[in-house]
Amino acid sequence: MTTLEQLSAEEANDELAALDALEKEASEFNKDAEIDRILKAFRLDAYAVLNLQPGVPDSQIKIQYRKLSLLIHPDKTSNPSAPNAFDRLKKAQTELMDPKHRTHLDECISDARMLLIRERKLTVDSAEVKEPNKEFIEAWRKKTVEVLVDAEARRRKQLKAQLQEEGREQRKQDEE
């Protein structure tokens, strides 16, 4: 092998090594970006955590969960936030697979859409509603967050009242 051939073989190896390093760095960047997206997604909206549109079939939820869980699994990335993101992802998938919780979430999303339509004095047949633009979709997401927060506040208030009532009943029984 001549010196020129050795030099070009070394250059080729160096370029391959540089490409491999670049691909690994890009892969880590994608993992970190997905972890950040999951952690920034609104917790009460499992669709947002899984990056899915409402109304998708169970099979799509399972596929998306598997894809994302393999990407951000704490054993496969060095990101210190990976365990937290992985837990949120698992919780979101569990919530969407539970028919009761999924129905509640779908109802909140539907309510948010109807509230937005009323606020904007639109009809269900309006072009903006039938084929929503980015601005409408963003407003719908914000309205969904408001509706979910209100629903969660009501749930907690009911739970608190229930616990207080149980406490009163327990004290009454203790007094007797």
Specify the pTM: 0.76
- pLDDT tens-digit readout, 49-67: 999 988 899 999 999 999 9
Angle at 97 between CA 78 and CA 49, to 5 degrees: 40
18 class by beta-carbon count within 10 Å (0-12 exposed, 13-18 middle, 19+ buried): exposed
pLDDT-derived band at 93 (thresholds 50, 70, 90) equals: very high
Among the residue ranges 20-24, 58-62, 81-85, 162-166, the one predicted with the least confidence is 20-24
Question: How high is the mean pLDDT of the chain?
Answer: 88
Rounded average pLDDT over 128-133: 86
**Residue 15: pLDDT above 60?**
yes
- Is a pLDDT exceeding 80 seen at residue 162? yes
Q: 25-29: list long-range contacts, CB under 8 Å, 24+ apart.
A: 28/77, 28/78
